Copies of this chain bind each other. A is one copy, B any other.
Amino acid sequence: MATVRLIEYENATPEVRAVFDDIKRTRNVAGVNNFCNALANHPMTLKRTWKSAREVMQPGALDPLTKEMIYVAVSVANNCNYCIHSHTASAFAKGMTPEQYAELLAVVGMASETNALATAMKVPVDSQFLAEAGK
C-alpha cells in the first residue's frame, strides 16, 4: 500500500492531465503506470521526472535496450522493488532475450561479489587505472 494516493486521470488536474497525455503519446500506451499516478501528487516532481526520463532514456550513444538493462542493474543494486519489476518488464518489451537477461544478472551478481571483496580488503587502486582517468 502506497504512502500516497494514486491519482488517476479522471481525478487529475488539467496540469497533471497534460503530462499524462504527453506520456501516453510518447510511449504509445493507453494509460500511465502507478509510479506516475503516485508522482502526480506533486505536479512539479511529476513534470521534472518525466522530462528527465525522456531526455535520459532517448536513443543516443547507447541504444534504448542497453539503457534499460543498466536501469535494471542499478535498481537491483539499490533494491527497488517497483523499479526491478517495471524496468525488467520494459527491457523484455524492448527485446531483451532470456539469455541476455541471464547474462545481465550474472554480471550484476559477479560485480556485487567483487565489490564486497575489494571494499573489505581496501585494495589500493592501481596507478594505470588512475592514469586512464580523465584523459
Contact = CB atoms under 8 A, between A and B. Distances in A.
A97 to B, nearest CB: 6
Interface class of chain A by DSSP: helix
Interface of A: 1-6, 33-35, 38-39, 41-42, 44-45, 48-49, 52-53, 55-57, 60-62, 66-67, 69-89, 92-93, 97-126, 128-130, 132-135
A70 B3 contact: no
Nearest to A110: B56
A62 to B, nearest CB: 5
B122 A45 contact: no
B57 A110 contact: yes
The 3 A-B pairs with the shortest beta carbon distances in the complex, nearest first, are A77-B77, A42-B102, A80-B115
A100 to B, nearest CB: 4
A72 B119 CA distance: 11
Given A113-B110, A134-B3, A120 B76 contact: yes
A64 to B, nearest CB: 10
A112 to B, nearest CB: 4
A123 B82 contact: yes
Contact of A42 (B45, B84, B87, B105): B105
Contacts of A79: 78-80, 119
